[in-house]
Structure 1
């Protein structure tokens, strides 16, 4: 019985809906030019915020919007190193104290790789 229910139409092959009475969304063609001279168009919605930069479809380099004469420079955050982030949390005086404490623990063999640990200075008591 299942064989008869699908007779006459292929699965996913055809749509029986027509396009009468359908209003399509407004579209615009935006032209971009990359640094190597490639020109290409991207279809976007009329309501979309058109970007100043787009990746070139041919070579992958950065392309600029042809309609914008002087595109805004990208605002880039200054690069912060680990040291900069550490100084946001602690002062140099605090860091020196922590370093001194950790070096003492390392020299006493209480921290660090196991093969560098010295035998404990404390005598173990047997029970």
Structure 2
């Protein structure tokens, strides 16, 4: 292992790259103010889409852009209930027919909890 290491180089040491001839990306300072009055600036690329909201580094609250950029309001979809999904698959008339059929089976003792079946079986034997 000692044969493979560079002499004079140490872990976390200096970089051997030179900064000559490197052109840095254009930057801009974007200001934000949080609910608690903390003001701070973030350095961003000129080409970057500037977010309207940023987390405050001091208190963690939402901070709004000082430049007046407004956050996009998302359209909220109403919650779909079981009933809504059921109506997508069947009409009200179909549901009423199914209910009527199932109630007849339940009252006849063909479906339902076991204790109801036993009670109906005893009534049938007695008759």
TM-score by length of 1: 0.65
- The count of aligned residue pairs is 113
Provide runs of 4+ in structure 1 moved above 4 Å: 98-107
2: CA distance between counterparts of 1:38 and 1:55? 11
Residue 74 of structure 1 corresponds to 73
2: CA distance between counterparts of 1:33 and 1:26? 24
More helix by share: 2
Alignment of 1:81-96 (within 5 A): 81-83=80-82, 85-86=84-85, 87-96=87-96
Structure 1 residue 84: deviation in Å?
6.9
Structure 1 residue 104: deviation in Å?
5.6
Gaps of 5+ in 2: 122-127
> RMSD over aligned Cα, in angstroms?
3.0
Query: CA separation of 1:18/1:100 partners in 2, compared to 1, >3 Å: closer, same or farther?
Result: farther
Q: Any idea what SS the aligned residue of 1:93 has?
A: helix
Residue 14 of structure 2 corresponds to 14
- Post-superposition CA distance 1:94-115 (Å, at most 9, x none): 44444445556666336xxxxx
TM-score by length of 2: 0.65
